[in-house]
């Protein structure tokens, strides 16, 4: 008997056995045989009853593309209950992803400051789809019983790597439209979308504020990722507001276009969504937190579920960390990946899909990636890489090799970095190098900070400030000298240098500015550099932390999450050890130190945490926090 | 005061050496390659002789036999005579450089009633026939010329030329500056790879269109294939109205090979501060006004070559004119700057410095040789087949400029080339044919992914006025809001068409869209087209015989300046009308000369041919012939 048959049987059996148990979840098996993967529609009992016909029809259309689909419905009591079921389905029927339709408990995650930008609770389905993360239950909300609060587990991994993809179909409750009606309407729309499939040949992008040269680089990325939009200008409408005109209203007209495949939106105040009737197949809202589905009314929901044929939206539940590359590997959508498969590669704690995640655009590339999504064999991936022509296929395969811990990766990324004329491929190499330690990273960073592409330089500079090793100071000062016309880079350097010792910077700058040949007046240029660099709140971090006023101290400690000031790590650790300090501040300091996971002095923090964890002179709270910090940075 | 003093000085120096003999020193290099001529006034020669010889040796070291011609030149014709002689020899001439005080031809533009332009086309385009008008009374080195009626109008230089000119009241300063400059050239290696480029263009250049700014480096990547892979190898300065600090800083970078400053109005470029500056980019294309006005002693271009920095040459215009940089790719291959400068040349564009200079030779086609030879269409056809945007751009130019190919052969390069610079050149090449292929290319070009092609197409659409272009214009207007500059040109272009058709097209494009405020937008289009336009009214007014002649002439000039194609038939009727005053008919004929690319051009020409066969006054006949010339 083939393995797949066994799986199929198992599902049947489990269904039958479930029927005997009251209040257990109901499972409807796929109508097609499960080979190597499947998909699950998760819903609540009432939604299933009200929307049964549409859910089954949706299941059929997903299965029409040979993705076996289960339907699981239940009155879910807690996120844990559902997660357990998802893990079981993953083990038994290899679900690659899920869609949550209707009333599904919402996990609210705390203590994840090192993974995100905010310290408030974050509505996050990473609880469900990243099986590696662990969580400690805090409480169920009394005002909204759908919300379940958790701390990220003390020994949870410190990065996101979703095991499966997930998406939500959660009606925005405005009181007018019946929520089940909304779901039915949406599912019919999703079915319709499958019948009119198209390749990606119409893309638009909107950004409100961005330095021009950074915009230029980002535009170039999208053009490399979707080469077929370069046939005529109307196929890539690329908007950036400036002093002379704003294109916000035109962006609404773009949302309404019936032929637009993907819209990539930054800094867009999405208001009065109901009147837009958007038709874009897939829209990415890269930075505004319009996806906060813990609220009854949330824009991403209105956008997806409202009138108009829009299928799927990617949005954040809270304000995301800046400097992310929200369209990393997005070109793979033109090579056979479905939206869920792509978004999983790029997940953060706050990023969420709304609507159908199984939709895949028609392939319009000579490279097809479908069969490499679930390929774990690095030999096959390397072979595919050597044959792939398009930049985005190369990037995707390099990224897969990284995910599968390919041991020859260092060599490969060095080789691809050195030889590729594509900025996106070089970016991928730098991005992956950031996750390697040692020689490869240093060598690629040294090259990357001088790359012709601005996004690549920016990526390196941000990484350098996280690492904080003073050996990078000369590269940063040189970069300052060479990037006089790249506003975005100059401000990245400015932020990065706050993480280094002022005197060390000066020592190097004195010498670097004297030999620079691109200033009419080197001394003046140097002075203006000092003037801009050595001022502002981030120079005051230590002064604040070691102040006597708790408010200042708190401010300083919190600023450390933005500026990782590596030179004072010893003093920060002293601060934590110092029992004369208020316990809240010591814990806050540990929380901030948990953002130092990439620091070149990480080992010192680890050693201190190990020591604190077992030192019973400290309170249990502090010891626990030390354990958490240790885990977060390790 | 200063000007006249200067003129006096020149006069004085001429008087002293007026009886000197013209002397021609032959090249010392024995080769059959085409020759180069150093033309230098006697005083400068006397004081810079060693440097001139060093320069001659350098140019000859680069394989070009070099003459030195020195003497006293009273009029431009004195020099031209010698150049013609050399050009006619078997060896012939590939270029010339004018060192020191060489008479400046001031040429009246080919169209009527305009100011004279300082132009060395007098010297280097031997196809043009000039008529001497006068010497400038105050500034005696200026000599005015006009084109003879029989002269061709298009510029087709016989060889390249450049100036090394340091106007000053103190001749010793000039000798010193020229000596230092020539020694600098002699001491500069010609194997420098073009691998660092800086570009500065002010916001106004693009009408503030960020999409245009963003697209520009895409063309640079085609022009400059040998850029090093480093942050600063291609430096596009920020998109500002004032780039003062950056320009000064970039001028200091010793690795910069080419600095493109186009339509940059940064005040620093006119500032005395730049005079003390050492500039290092080897070649500067300075399209700012009036950097190349060498009839003025203070012309800005000179500051960049006469300083101890590394700059060898500056290209600048003597009067405002457009600068086409689409041949810049040839710089990367080590083609002599003079040869490249000559492509698509106009009256205004001039090279200051050594025109024989070039970057490291990377060319596999021996283009330096090919460009100095007589044009051979067979060769350019072969070159066009090479999969290389730089070669294709040149081949397209050569084939179209010499009418050596049919538009059918050019069209595929416009429609299918993956190279932006090739599509741009193909569009420009097609403009010479003024036929259906051109109109079709313009229609497609409006939504080309390279902004400059779309922009150029929109400009051409206005010049053509063919109503078949309206739907494409309306489509781009509604669906391509990302390009501010194209949008601006299109909105202006709508006025050159029949308004009913424009209204219908716009309404249709809006109805086919799914725009949020579709209904109100349609309403607003209808409203704005309800009232007749200024041009429609003007057309009615020029027909009105009760109006004063001057007023009707002013109105027809307006219609012509605004490319109002629907007015052409009405204007022709008036020209044909024997009852109309003759000066009115002549002025109306002149006005039609601006419709050189109009879809009604054939109709105008046909009408004129008929008219020429009838009995008309001599003045009208001359004006009609002149206009036919401009339309062709």
Nearest CB to B235 within list A249, A485, A487: A485
- Determine contact, residues A210/A488, Cβ cutoff 8 Å: yes
Q: Identify all chain B residues contacting A236, using CB atoms and an 8 Å cutoff.
A: 449
Is A258–B514 a contact, with Cβ atoms under 8 angstroms apart?
A: yes
The pLDDT of residue B112 is 57
DSSP string across A594-625: TT-TT-TTHHHHHHHHHHHHH-TTS-HHHHHH
Q: Which residues of B touch A252 (CB under 8 A)?
A: 516
Strand B283-287 and strand B258-262: the pairing is: parallel
Report yes or no: A518 at the B interface, CB cutoff 8 Å: yes
| Backbone CA torsion sign across B612, B613, B618, B620 | negative
Question: Which residues on A lie below 8 Å from B476 (Cβ)?
Answer: 233-234
Per-residue pLDDT, A117:
77
Interval B286-306 mean pLDDT: 91
pLDDT given for residue A365 in this prediction:
87
Q: Per-residue pLDDT for B3 more than 70?
A: no
| pLDDT one-digit tens code per residue, B473-489 | 999 999 999 999 999 99
Domain boundaries, chain A: 3-167, 180-355, 366-453, 468-535, 539-633
Q: How far apart are CA B451 and CA A236, in angstroms?
A: 12
Domain ranges of chain B: 2-186, 197-353, 375-528, 534-631
Give the 3-state secondary structure of residue A240.
strand
List Cα–Cα distances, A580 to A242, A555, A577, B449, in angstroms.
Answer: 53, 19, 9, 66
* pLDDT at res. B238: 81
Tell me the per-residue pLDDT of B52-104, one tens digit each, with 9 for 90 and over.
999 999 999 999 999 999 999 999 999 999 999 999 999 999 999 999 999 99
Q: How distant is the Cα of A280 from the closest Cα of chain B, in angstroms?
A: 12
Q: Which residues contact A452 (CB under 8 A, 6 or more apart)?
A: A423, B227, B229, B230, B231, B233, B234
Average pLDDT over residues B416-438: 97
Kindly give, in sequence order, each residue whose CB lies less than 8 Å from that of residue B264, ignoring residues fewer than 6 positions away: B200, B201, B202, B205, B243, B247, B287, B288
Using CA atoms, how far apart are residues A52 and A55, in angstroms rounded to an integer?
5
CB contact under 8 A, B516 and A245: no
CA distance B133 to A462: 68
pLDDT digit string (tens) for B356-374?
Answer: 999 999 999 999 999 998 8
Please indicate if any CB of chain B lies within 8 Å of the CB of A446: no
Q: Could you check whether the bond before residue A200 is cis, i.e. omega within 30 degrees of 0?
A: no
Which residues in chain B have Cβ-Cβ distances shorter than 8 Å to A239? 481-482
What does the pLDDT look like over A485-502, one tens digit per residue? 899 999 999 999 999 999
Whether residue A405 lies within 8 A of chain B, CB to CB, comes out as: no
Predicted local distance difference test score (pLDDT) of residue B447: 97
Stretch A91-108: mean pLDDT = 97
Percentage with pLDDT > 90 across chain B: 83
Apex B617 CA angle, B612 and B623, nearest 5: 65
Is there a contact between B210 and A234 if contact means CB atoms under 8 Å apart? no
Q: How many CB pairs under 8 A join A and B?
A: 110
Output the pLDDT for position A482: 94
* Contact between chains at A233 and B229 (C-beta distance less than 8 A): no
Tokens of A519: 């200033």
Beta-carbon separation of A216 and B213 below 8 A: yes
Contacts of A237 in chain B (CB under 8 A): 479-482
Q: Is the pLDDT of residue A16 over 80?
A: no
Cβ-Cβ contacts under 8 Å for A55 (sequence gap 6 or more): A41, A43, A48, A71, A101, A187
Write the CB contacts of A427 (distance below 8 Å, at least 6 apart in sequence): A221, A325, A395, A453, A455, A456, A459
- CB atoms B229 and A483 under 8 Å: no
How many alpha carbons lie under 13 Å from residue A588 in its C-beta half-sphere?
18
> B238 vs A479: CB contact, 8 Å cut-off?
no
**Are A295 and A318 in contact, with CB atoms under 8 Å apart?**
no
> Which of B239, B271, B481 best probes binding to A when mutated, by most A CB atoms within 10 angstroms?
B481
Q: CA B24 to CA B26: how far, in whole Å? A: 6
> A542: distance to nearest CA of chain B, Å?
34
What mean pLDDT is predicted for residues B209-218?
A: 92
Residue B444 neighbours by CB distance under 10 Å = 18
A517 pLDDT above the threshold of 60:
yes
Q: Which residue of B has its CA nearest to A254?
A: B515
Q: Cβ distance A537 to A560 under 8 Å? A: no
Retrieve residue B548's tokens: 């004063």
For the segment B131-136, the average pLDDT, to the nearest whole number, is: 95
Task: Tell me whether A466 touches chain B (CB under 8 Å).
Answer: no
Q: Of A81-90, A331-340, A365-374, B329-338, which range is least confident? A: A365-374
CA B95/CA B104 separation, integer angstroms: 18
What's the gap between Cα A226 and its chain centre? 21
Which positions in chain A touch B238 (Cβ < 8 Å)?
212-213, 485, 487
A14: Cα within 13 Å, side-chain hemisphere: 19
Chain A residues with CB inside 8 Å of B213's CB?
212, 216
**DSSP 8-state assignment for residue B442:** H
Q: How distant is the Cα of B359 from the closest Cα of chain A, in angstroms?
A: 22
Please give the Cα distance from A137 to A148 (Å, whole number). Answer: 8
CATH class of the structural domain B375-528: mainly alpha
CB pair distance less than 8 Å for A233 and B451:
yes
pLDDT of res. A196:
87
**Of A452, A462, A335, which Cα lies nearest the Cα of A400?**
A335
For residue A583, the distance in angstroms to the closest alpha carbon of chain B comes to 48
Number of H helices, E strands in chain B: 27, 15
Q: Which two tokens stand for residue B414?
A: 């416009």
B449 → closest Cβ in A215, A231, A451: A231
Contact A487 B238 (CB under 8 A): yes
Three-state DSSP string of B287-352: ECCCCCCCCCCCCCCHHHHCCCCCCCEEEEECCCCCCCCCCCHHHHCCCCHHHHHCCCCCCCEEEE
Q: How far apart are CA B533 and CA A327, in angstroms?
A: 48
- Whether A20 shows a pLDDT value over 50: the answer reads no
Partner-chain residue, chosen from B233, B255, B484, that has the shortest CB–CB distance to A452: B233
Give the residues across from A15 on adjacent strands: none
Confidence of residue A274 (pLDDT cuts 50, 70, 90): confident
pLDDT at A526 over 70: yes
Q: How many CA atoms lie within 13 A of B249 on its CB side?
A: 21
CA distance B82 to B577: 50
Mean pLDDT of B282-292: 90
Length of chain A equals: 634
Q: Give the mean pLDDT of A257-269.
A: 94
Q: Give, to the nearest 10 degrees, the angle between helix A212-225 and helix A423-433.
A: 100
Tell me the C-alpha distance between B195 and B333, whole Å: 11
Phi and psi, residue A517, nearest 5°: -115, 15
Of residues A233, A249, A485, nearest to B454 (C-beta): A233
- Rg of chain B in Å (alpha carbons): 26
- Looking at the predicted structure, is the pLDDT value of residue A134 above 80? yes
Nearest to B592 by CA among B616, B611, B570: B570
Q: Using CB atoms, which residue from A230, A252, A258 is nearest to B449?
A: A230
Q: Given an 8 Å threshold on Cβ–Cβ distance, is B482 in contact with A275?
A: no
Decide if B574 contacts B580 (C-beta within 8 A): yes
Kindly state the percentage of chain A with pLDDT values over 90.
Answer: 84
Give residue A265's pLDDT band: very low, low, confident or very high (50, 70, 90): very high
**Three-class DSSP category at B96:** strand
Query: Beta A122-123 vs A106-110: how paired, if at all?
Result: antiparallel
Asked if residues A262 and A281 have their Cβ atoms less than 8 Å apart, the reply is yes
Task: Flag whether residue A143 sits within 8 Å of chain B, measured between CB atoms.
Answer: no
| Average pLDDT along chain B | 92
Report yes or no: A517 at the B interface, CB cutoff 8 Å.
Answer: yes
CA nearest to A253 within chain B: B515
Helix ranges, B342-417 (H): 367-372, 377-384, 389-401, 407-416
Pick the CATH number of B2-186 from 2.102.10.10, 3.40.50.10390, 3.30.930.10, 3.40.630.30: 3.40.50.10390
Q: Give A573-596 pLDDT, tens digit per residue.
A: 999 999 999 999 999 999 999 999
**B55 and B40 Cβ atoms separated by less than 8 Å:** no
pLDDT digits 0-9 by tens, B556-567: 999 999 999 999
- Give the closest of B213, B236, B447 to A232, CB-based: B447
Using the Cβ of A218 and the Cβ atoms of chain B, whether some distance falls under 8 Å is answered with: no
A241/B contact by beta carbon, under 8 A: no
What pLDDT is stored for residue A421 in this prediction?
95
Distance from CA of B556 to the nearest CA of A (A): 34
Q: Do A233 and B230 touch (CB under 8 A)?
A: no
Band the pLDDT of B113: cuts 50, 70, 90: low
Taking the C-alpha atoms of residue A307 and residue B366, their distance in angstroms, rounded to an integer, is 64
Helices (H) and strands (E) counted in chain A, each on its own, are 25, 15
**A232–B483 CB contact, under 8 Å:** no
Measured CA angle at A524 (ends A518, A529), to 5 deg? 85
The residues near A239 (Cβ < 8 Å, ≥ 6 apart) are A204, A205, A206, A207, A247, A250, A251, A254, B481, B482
Q: Are B60 and B29 in contact (CB under 8 A)?
A: yes
Question: Do B174 and B167 touch, CB atoms closer than 8 A?
Answer: yes
Q: What is the pLDDT of residue B14?
A: 42
CA-nearest residue to B208 within chain A is A244
DSSP state of B448: B
């Amino acid at each position: 008997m083939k393995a797949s048959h066994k799986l199929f049987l198992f599902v049947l059996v489990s269904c039958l056995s479930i029927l005997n148990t009251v209040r257990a979840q109901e499972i409807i098996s796929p109508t097609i045989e499960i080979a190597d993967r499947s998909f699950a529609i998760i819903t609540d009992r009432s939604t299933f009853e009200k929307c049964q016909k549409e859910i089954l029809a949706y299941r059929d259309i997903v299965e029409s593309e040979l993705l076996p689909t289960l339907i699981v419905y239940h009155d879910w009591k807690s996120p844990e209950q559902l997660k357990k079921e998802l893990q079981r389905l993953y083990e038994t029927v290899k679900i690659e992803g899920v869609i949550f339709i209707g009333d599904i408990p919402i996990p609210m995650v705390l203590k994840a400051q090192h993974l995100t930008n905010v310290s408030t609770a974050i509505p996050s389905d990473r609880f469900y789809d990243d099986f590696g993360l662990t969580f400690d239950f805090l409480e169920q909300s009394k005002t909204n019983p759908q919300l379940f609060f958790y701390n990220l587990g003390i020994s949870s991994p410190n990065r996101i790597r979703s095991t499966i993809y997930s998406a939500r179909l959660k009606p925005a409750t405005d009181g007018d439209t019946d929520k089940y009606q909304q779901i039915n309407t949406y599912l019919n729309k999703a079915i319709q979308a499958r019948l009119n499939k198209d390749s990606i040949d119409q893309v638009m992008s909107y950004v409100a504020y961005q330095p021009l040269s950074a915009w230029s680089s980002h535009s170039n990325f999208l053009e490399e990722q979707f080469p077929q939009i370069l046939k005529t200008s109307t196929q890539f409408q690329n908007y950036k507001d400036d002093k002379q005109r704003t294109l916000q209203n035109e962006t609404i007209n773009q949302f309404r276009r019936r032929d637009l495949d993907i819209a990539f939106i930054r800094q867009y105040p999405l208001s009065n969504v109901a009147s837009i009737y958007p038709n874009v197949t897939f829209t990415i809202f890269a930075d505004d937190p319009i996806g906060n589905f813990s609220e009854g009314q949330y824009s991403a929901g209105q956008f997806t579920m409202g009138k108009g044929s829009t299928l799927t939206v990617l949005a954040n539940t809270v304000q995301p960390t800046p400097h992310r590359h929200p369209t990393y590997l997005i070109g793979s959508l033109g090579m056979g990946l479905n939206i869920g498969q792509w978004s999983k590669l790029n997940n953060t704690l706050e990023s969420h899909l709304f609507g159908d995640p199984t939709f895949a655009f028609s392939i319009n590339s000579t490279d097809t990636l479908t069969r490499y999504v679930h390929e774990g064999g690095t030999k096959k991936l390397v072979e595919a890489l050597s044959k792939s022509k398009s930049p985005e296929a190369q990037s995707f395969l390099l990224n897969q090799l990284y995910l599968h811990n390919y041991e020859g990766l260092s060599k490969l990324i060095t080789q691809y970095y050195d030889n590729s004329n594509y900025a996106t491929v070089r970016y991928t190499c730098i991005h992956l190098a950031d996750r390697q330690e040692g020689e490869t990273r240093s060598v690629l960073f040294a090259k990357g900070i001088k790359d012709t592409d601005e996004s690549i330089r920016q990526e390196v500079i941000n990484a350098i400030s996280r690492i904080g090793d003073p050996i990078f100071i000369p590269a940063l000062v040189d970069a300052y000298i060479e990037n006089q016309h790249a506003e975005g880079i100059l401000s990245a350097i400015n932020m990065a240098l706050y993480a280094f010792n002022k005197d060390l910077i000066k020592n190097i700058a004195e010498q670097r500015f004297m030999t620079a040949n691109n200033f009419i007046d080197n001394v003046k240029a140097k002075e203006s550099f000092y003037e801009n660099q050595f001022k502002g709140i981030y120079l005051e971090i230590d002064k604040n932390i070691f102040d006597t006023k708790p408010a200042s101290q708190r401010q300083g400690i919190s600023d450390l999450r933005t500026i990782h000031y590596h030179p004072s790590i010893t003093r920060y650790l002293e601060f934590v050890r110092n029992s004369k300090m208020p316990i809240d501040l010591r814990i806050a300091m540990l929380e901030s130190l948990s953002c130092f996971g990439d620091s070149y002095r990480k080992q010192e923090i680890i050693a201190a945490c190990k020591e604190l964890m077992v030192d019973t002179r400290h309170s249990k709270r502090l010891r626990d926090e030390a354990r958490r910090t240790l885990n977060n940075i390790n | 005061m200063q000007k006249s003093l200067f003129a006096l000085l020149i006069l004085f120096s001429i008087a002293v050496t007026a009886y000197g003999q013209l002397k021609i020193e032959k090249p010392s290099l024995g080769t059959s390659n085409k020759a180069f001529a150093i033309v230098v006034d006697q005083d400068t020669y006397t004081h810079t002789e060693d440097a001139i010889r060093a320069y001659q040796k350098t140019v000859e070291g680069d394989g070009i036999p070099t003459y030195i011609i020195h003497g006293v030149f009273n009029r431009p014709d004195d020099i031209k005579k010698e150049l013609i002689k050399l050009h006619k020899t078997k060896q012939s001439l590939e270029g010339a450089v004018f060192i020191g005080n060489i008479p400046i031809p001031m040429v009246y533009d080919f169209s009527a009633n305009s100011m004279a332009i300082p132009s060395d086309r007098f010297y280097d385009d031997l196809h043009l026939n000039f008529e001497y008008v006068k010497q400038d009374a105050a500034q005696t080195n200026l000599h005015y010329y006009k084109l003879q009626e029989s002269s061709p109008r298009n510029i087709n230089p016989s060889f390249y030329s450049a100036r090394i000119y340091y106007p000053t009241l103190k001749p010793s300063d000039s000798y010193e500056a020229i000596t230092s400059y020539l020694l600098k050239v002699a001491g500069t290696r010609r194997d420098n790879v073009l691998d660092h480029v800086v570009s500065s263009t002010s916001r106004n250049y693009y009408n503030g269109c960020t999409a245009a700014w963003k697209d520009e480096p895409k063309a640079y990547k085609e022009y400059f294939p040998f850029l090093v892979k480093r942050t600063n190898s291609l430096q596009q300065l920020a998109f500002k109205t004032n780039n003062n600090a950056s320009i000064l800083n970039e001028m200091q970078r010793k690795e910069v090979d080419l600095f493109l400053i186009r339509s940059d109005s940064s005040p620093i470029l006119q500032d005395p501060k730049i005079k003390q500056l050492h500039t290092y980019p080897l070649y500067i294309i300075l399209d700012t006004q009036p950097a190349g006005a060498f009839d003025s002693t203070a012309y800005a271009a000179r500051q960049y070559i006469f300083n101890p920095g590394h700059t060898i040459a500056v290209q600048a215009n003597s009067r405002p004119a457009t600068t086409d940089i689409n041949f810049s790719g040839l710089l990367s291959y080590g083609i002599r700057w003079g040869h490249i400068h000559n492509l698509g040349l106009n009256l205004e564009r001039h090279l200051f410095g050594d025109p024989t200079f070039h970057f490291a030779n990377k060319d596999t086609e021996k283009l330096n040789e090919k460009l100095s030879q007589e044009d051979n269409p067979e060769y350019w056809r072969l070159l066009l087949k090479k999969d290389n945007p730089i070669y294709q751009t040149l081949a397209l130019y050569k084939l179209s400029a010499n009418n050596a190919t049919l538009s059918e052969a050019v069209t595929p390069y416009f429609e299918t080339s993956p190279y932006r610079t090739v599509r741009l050149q193909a569009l420009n090449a097609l403009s010479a044919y003024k036929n259906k292929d051109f109109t079709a290319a313009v229609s497609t070009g409006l939504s080309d992914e390279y902004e400059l092609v779309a922009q150029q197409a929109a400009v051409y659409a206005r010049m053509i006025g063919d109503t078949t272009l309206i739907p494409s214009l309306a489509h781009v207007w509604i669906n391509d809001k990302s390009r501010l500059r194209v949008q601006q040109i299109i909105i202006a272009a709508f006025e050159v068409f029949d308004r009913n058709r424009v209204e219908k097209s716009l309404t249709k494009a809006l109805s086919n869209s799914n725009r949020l405020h579709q209904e109100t937008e349609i309403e607003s289009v209808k409203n704005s087209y309800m009232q007749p336009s200024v041009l429609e009214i003007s057309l009615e007014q020029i027909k009105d015989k009760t109006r004063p002649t001057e007023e009707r002439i002013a109105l027809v000039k307006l219609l012509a300046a605004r490319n109002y194609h629907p007015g052409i038939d009405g204007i022709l009727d008036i020209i044909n009308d024997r009852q109309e005053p003759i000066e009115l008919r002549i002025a109306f004929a002149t006005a039609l000369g601006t419709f050189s690319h109009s879809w009604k051009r054939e109709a105008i020409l046909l009408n004129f041919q008929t008219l020429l066969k009838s009995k008309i006054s001599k003045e009208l006949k001359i004006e009609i012939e002149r206009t036919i010339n401009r339309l062709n």
